[in-house]
């Protein structure tokens, strides 16, 4: 049974994921720990995001950057409700396109995440779900100025012109959706994502007592990778 329609009490979780490949993506992380290390961490980050998806009470949608990666995504998370291929363009354009497609399919409340924020936990998700019941937009800001969660009950405005991958993104995004309805924005506690070597050190410390299996595997890989890259 499709959870998107059998359980409308909860929003749909939308995960933007990119298949980890050697030498592709994670360039800043690779600069600090090497390409092989960056690949290992990227693989473990995907596992962490899908670990959260496994416990999501509503529908789960995976979006992949290439159509040929759909089978890979299905193998990683067989219980996904839907797998979509992202369009061309910057991240804003791709989010707009996925948002439009899902609304046409009947998904009205959406929670967008990537695979780079393993510090997200049940408390963050519960707060997002709760606040999305009374607000049109909910965000978890990232320490670097971006966002790790962006959730909405109404369509995103055009996001193509936003400064993606910069420290201004989070504020510019909230300013954009707040035009005309600033009180319909809710912000949950700030988190951080994994972009470079120093983020791994921080994640290892923050997640050291996290008992989730994916996080334990990530911490183990982080410790091995940091030791090897010294």
Cβ distance 21 to 39 under 8 Å? yes
Classify domain 11-229 at the CATH topology level. Answer: Spore Coat Polysaccharide Biosynthesis Protein SpsA; Chain A (3.90.550)
Q: 25's torsion region: left (phi>0), alpha (psi -120 to 50) or beta? A: left
**Measuring CA to CA, how many Å separate 142 from each of 84, 126, 193?**
26, 18, 7
* CA distance linking residue 227 with residue 26, whole number of Å: 19
> Mean of the pLDDT values across residues 147-174?
96
Average the pLDDT over each of 19-23, 90-94, 169-173 and give the range with the smallest value: 19-23
* CA distance linking residue 227 with residue 212, whole number of Å: 23
> Mean of the pLDDT values across residues 174-196?
90
> Mean of the pLDDT values across residues 14-26?
90
> Mean of the pLDDT values across residues 38-58?
95
Comparing CA positions, the residue from 7, 5, 10 lying closest to residue 129 is 10
Structure tokens at 205: 């410390």
* CA distance linking residue 73 with residue 81, whole number of Å: 12
Comparing CA positions, the residue from 180, 90, 168 lying closest to residue 136 is 180
Q: 186's torsion region: left (phi>0), alpha (psi -120 to 50) or beta? A: beta
- SS3 string of 79-129? CCCEEEECCCCCHHHHHHHHHHHHHHCCCCCEEEECCCCCCCCHHHHHHHH
**Residue 9 reports pLDDT greater than 60:** yes
User: Which residues, at least 6 apart from 119, have a Cβ–Cβ distance to it below 8 Å?
Assistant: 191, 192, 203, 206, 207
> Mean of the pLDDT values across residues 4-17?
76
**Residue 8 reports pLDDT greater than 80:** no
Annotated domain spans of the chain: 11-229
The reported pLDDT for the residue numbered 3 is: 41
């Amino acid at each position: 049974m499709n959870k998107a329609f059998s359980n409308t009490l909860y929003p749909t979780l939308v995960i933007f994921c990119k298949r980890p490949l050697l030498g592709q993506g994670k360039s800043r992380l690779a600069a600090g720990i090497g390409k092989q290390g960056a690949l290992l961490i990227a693989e473990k980050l995907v596992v962490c995001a899908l670990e959260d998806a496994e416990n999501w009470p509503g529908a789960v949608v995976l979006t992949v950057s290439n159509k040929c990666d759909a089978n890979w995504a299905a193998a990683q998370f067989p219980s996904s409700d839907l797998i979509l291929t992202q369009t061309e363009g910057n991240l804003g354009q791709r989010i707009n396109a996925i948002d439009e497609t899902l609304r046409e399919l009947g998904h009205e409340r959406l929670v967008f995440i990537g695979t780079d924020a393993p510090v997200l936990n049940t408390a963050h998700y519960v707060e997002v779900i709760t606040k999305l019941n009374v607000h049109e937009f909910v965000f978890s800001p990232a320490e670097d100025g971006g966002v790790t969660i962006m959730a909405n009950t109404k369509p995103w405005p055009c996001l193509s012109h936003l400064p993606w991958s910069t420290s201004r993104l989070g504020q510019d995004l909230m300013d954009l959706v707040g035009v005309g309805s600033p009180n319909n924005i809710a912000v949950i506690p700030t988190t951080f994502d994994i972009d470079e070597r120093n983020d791994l050190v921080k994640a290892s410390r923050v997640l050291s007592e996290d008992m989730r299996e994916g996080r334990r595997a990530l911490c183990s890989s982080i410790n091995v990778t940091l030791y090897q890259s010294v």
